[in-house]
Amino acid sequence: MAYGLLKGKKGIISGALDENSIAWKVALKAKEEGAIFTLTNAPIAMRMGEINKLAEACEAEIIPADATSVEDIENLYAKSMDILGGKVDFVLHSIGMSPNVRKGRAYGDLNYDFYKQSVDISAMSFHKFLQTAEKMNAINEWGSVVALTYMAAQRTFSFYSDMADAKAMLESIARSYGYRYGKLKNVRVNTVSQSPTKTRAGGGIAGFDSFYEFAEKMSPLGNASADACADYVLTLFSDLTKMVTMQNLFHDGGYSMTGVSAELLEMIKPAE
Ligand SMILES: NC(=O)c1ccc[n+]([C@@H]2O[C@H](COP(=O)([O-])OP(=O)(O)OC[C@H]3O[C@@H](n4cnc5c(N)ncnc54)[C@H](O)[C@@H]3O)[C@@H](O)[C@H]2O)c1
């Protein structure tokens, strides 16, 4: 059911790779809620062509941009403002990639060129999105910027490797830029810390399926789906959350506040 939450709002949605992507669900729901927006992804991701289906469904134009390139991001904002007829009200950063994780490098055996790429793609790109928007005055007063993150920024998960460091930086950027952009233009900046979700990025992590089941059993509400995540992100783009900024918001079915669940205790019960 749509509520018209984003009626009249303009935005930019990054990171829709295929129909499992969290950003894909955000785009479909943002359209349902009355927003107009552009879609963006890395030029290399465009080759799969899947995003064209989403663009058609959302009547949205696609502007390729490598999130590590300031020039690409400048072009993204300039073209978006041109296409949408003015500044934007919301921006979704749904971008993450670690070559170290992809290649199964242990945390004690990181390749430092890969490490730089992980940080550049998954965290510094968020600063680039924000700084470029500020310099181009591309976001309307009371606009909202959201990035997706994971709880490995606060607690150690053995398989998350250098992505944990990138996510910690991403969340720090949300606080630091949230302060700055709040003072300047009342623009709010938040991160949403999502449950493990079966997407391309999620599936790139060794042992993901077992961890998905573990988190499902730990969370009183179960793992939050990508669809539910999209619903939550839309509330943050809407005018109903105007005073929420600089926050890392857990969207995880209660996982982050659970010490241990009855189901897990039952599973590891020693033999009588
Ligand atoms: N899947 C999970 O379990 C999970 C959990 C918590 C948070 N997240 C976060 O959600 C976000 C979206 O991931 P997803 O799970 O929907 O997976 P996904 O693989 O569908 O999306 C990741 C996106 O990042 C894009 N990307 C990679 N390098 C890029 C670059 N240089 N420039 C521009 N875009 C680039 C990819 O093309 C892809 O569209 C990521 O930040 C991820 O870390 C995912």
Binned at pLDDT 50, 70 and 90, residue 270 comes out as confident
Residue 22 Cβ inside 6 Å of ligand 1? The answer reads yes
CA distance linking residue 115 with residue 173, whole number of Å: 18
Question: 170-208, pLDDT tens digit by residue?
Answer: 999 999 999 999 999 999 999 999 999 999 888 778 788
* Residue 17 Cα to ligand 1 middle (Å): 8
Residue 49 in this model has a pLDDT that exceeds 90? no
CA distance linking residue 9 with residue 187, whole number of Å: 14
Catalytic annotation, residues: 150, 160
Helix axes 70-84 and 125-136, enclosed angle (nearest 10) = 50
DSSP 15-57: ---STTSHHHHHHHHHHHTT-EEEEE--HHHHTT-THHHHHHH
Residue 17 Cβ inside 6 Å of ligand 1? The answer reads yes
* CA of 203, closest atom in ligand 1: 1
Domain boundaries, the chain: 10-267
Residue 7 in this model has a pLDDT that exceeds 80? yes
pLDDT at residue 164, rounded to an integer: 97
Residue 5 in this model has a pLDDT that exceeds 80? yes
The annotated binding site for NAD(+) is made up of 15, 21-22, 95, 167
pLDDT at residue 184, rounded to an integer: 98
* CA of 20, closest atom in ligand 1: 20
Mean residue pLDDT of the chain comes to 96
CATH of span 10-267: 3.40.50.720
Question: Which of 209 and 31 is assigned the larger pLDDT?
Answer: 31
Residue 196 Cβ inside 6 Å of ligand 1? The answer reads yes
Residue 67 Cβ inside 6 Å of ligand 1? The answer reads yes
Question: 108-151, pLDDT tens digit by residue?
Answer: 999 999 999 999 999 999 999 999 999 999 999 999 999 999 99
* CA of 15, closest atom in ligand 1: 39
Binned at pLDDT 50, 70 and 90, residue 1 comes out as confident
Question: 197-248, pLDDT tens digit by residue?
Answer: 999 888 778 788 999 999 999 999 999 999 999 999 999 999 999 999 999 9
Binned at pLDDT 50, 70 and 90, residue 46 comes out as confident
pLDDT at residue 204, rounded to an integer: 76
Residue 47 in this model has a pLDDT that exceeds 90? no
Look at residues 13, 18, 14 and name the one whose alpha carbon lies nearest to residue 203: 18
